[in-house]
A and B are shown apart, each in its own frame.
Chain A
Amino acid sequence: MIGTALTLTGDLEAESAIPWIVHRGLLLNLDGWVRRRGAGEIEIALAGPEPLVAAMEAACSLGPADILVEHITRQAHDFDHAPGRFRHLS
């Protein structure tokens, strides 16, 4: 199954970042997951209707007040199996 991967880079260390992204993913009724890939990088994999994926991208490019997203990149993501409801992948 082909979905969308978003990679956020910037000042992302605040603990609020992941819960905020999960809250937004669930609000938009998306499937997929989010995980940290280091202090300054967060990876998000998404499946869902394109307008909602685009809304997730727009939301994540701002994020919560205590993080600063400097760059966001988007590419295709190949899910090995059905991704399930959006969650934090620790």
Chain B
Amino acid sequence: MSTEYARNDWYVVADVNQLAAGQVVETRLLGQPLRVSGSPDAPLVTTADGTALPAQLRYDHIWTSPGADPRPLPDIAEAAERDRTFVPCGGVRVRCSPLRAVENFLDIAHFPFVHTGILGEEPHTEVAPYKVEIREDVDEVWATQIGFHQPQAAKSATEAIETRYEYRVPAPTTAVLYKTCPPKPEAWDVIAIFVQPLAENECIAWPWMALYDEVTPYADLVQFQQEIFLQDRSILENQKPTLLPLDPRLEIPTRCDLTSVVYRRWLKRKGATYGALTTAA
């Protein structure tokens, strides 16, 4: 286990709705207990001994970093587009490695089998070849040119469509999905997952959406995304090994798994091994 790299990233520890409701959130980060209090505009994050950590409100969530020299919090430009609907979906607690949660978010091959009738359906199970790369200029993983048949690509979708996807991983526990916006095909809907590592084998996934959808009630948007993440949870909690293998002897990745392969290679290169298994699995 190494927290050396992980300590200098930013993590979500609460969402804006919790602080707006006056809650004091007792939680954990990288195995250490934390308290989140204050207001959305002036959040306060403290450790068990009362030490205050840096805290900021971004993307409708409260972020903190326990490191002495944190890297910049990933920029999501669409957050500045005020005609979008911003949806913090609440946290889903999962007994799995935080890296496993991100990897699952990046995996499109499981859609027809786990999210049947929503994000995929048989017989449309084939994943066409797509492009994955580590963009050296920004030090991010990008998967592009992804197309997939989806019965209900979003809450706003009224029929099955061929959805276009792009994935971006700007930090080990932050991933962003850009996908076809059903009511506005020239634009991308943005769905991000911010993963809070409670420990190496337990996390909270905080989905967040920035959509062009002025019609669907907020509660329905949250329920749609929560349903998808709850479907994923049972899969994630039964994966063996629990940690994400960086030396997967028993797994046989195929072309459709290339995003996962490149994500793991990127983690290995950075030494971002909190939640990873670095011996042969």
Complex Cα–Cα for A31 and B261 (A): 23
Q: Mark A30-69, 1 if CB is under 8 A from B, else 0.
A: 0000000000000000000001001100110111111011
Complex Cα–Cα for A23 and B257 (A): 20
The answer to whether A68 and B265 have CB atoms under 8 Å apart is: yes
| Residues of chain B in range 34-81 having any CB-CB distance to chain A below 8 Å | none
Interface size on B, residues (CB 8 A): 19
Residue A27 CB within 8 A of the other chain: yes
Q: Which residues from A are CB-within-8-Å of B280?
A: 64-65
What are 13 A-to-B residue pairs whose CB atoms are below 8 Å?
A: A20-B249, A28-B252, A54-B254, A58-B253, A59-B248, A61-B258, A61-B262, A61-B265, A62-B246, A62-B253, A62-B264, A64-B280, A65-B279
The answer to whether A59 and B255 have CB atoms under 8 Å apart is: no
The answer to whether B252 and A61 have CB atoms under 8 Å apart is: no
- List the A residue with the shortest CB-CB distance to B269: A68
Residue B278 CB within 8 A of the other chain: yes
Q: Output the least CB separation between B274 and chain A (Å).
A: 15
The answer to whether A61 and B261 have CB atoms under 8 Å apart is: yes
Interface size on A, residues (CB 8 A): 17
Complex Cα–Cα for A20 and B245 (A): 15
Q: Which residues from B are CB-within-8-Å of A64?
A: 247, 280
Complex Cα–Cα for A56 and B247 (A): 14
- List the B residue with the shortest CB-CB distance to A61: B261
The answer to whether B253 and A68 have CB atoms under 8 Å apart is: no
Q: Which residues from B are CB-within-8-Å of A23?
A: 249
Q: Which residues from A are CB-within-8-Å of B261?
A: 58-59, 61-62
Residue B268 CB within 8 A of the other chain: yes
Q: Which residues from A are CB-within-8-Å of B248?
A: 59, 62
Q: Which residues from A are CB-within-8-Å of B269?
A: 68
**A59 touching B279 in the complex, CB below 8 Å, given contacts A64-B247, A68-B269:** no
Contact of B254 among A58, A66, A69 (CB under 8 A): A58
Q: Output the least CB separation between A47 and chain B (Å).
A: 18
Complex Cα–Cα for A31 and B162 (A): 38
| Residues of chain A in range 57-83 having any CB-CB distance to chain B below 8 Å | 58-59, 61-66, 68-69
Q: Which residues from A are CB-within-8-Å of B255?
A: 51, 54-55, 58
Cβ-closest 6 pairs across A and B:
A65-B247, A58-B253, A64-B247, A65-B246, A65-B278, A62-B261
Complex Cα–Cα for A68 and B264 (A): 11
Complex Cα–Cα for A58 and B280 (A): 17
- List the A residue with the shortest CB-CB distance to B256: A58
Q: Which residues from B are CB-within-8-Å of A58?
A: 253-255, 257-258, 261
Complex Cα–Cα for A55 and B248 (A): 13
The answer to whether B247 and A55 have CB atoms under 8 Å apart is: no
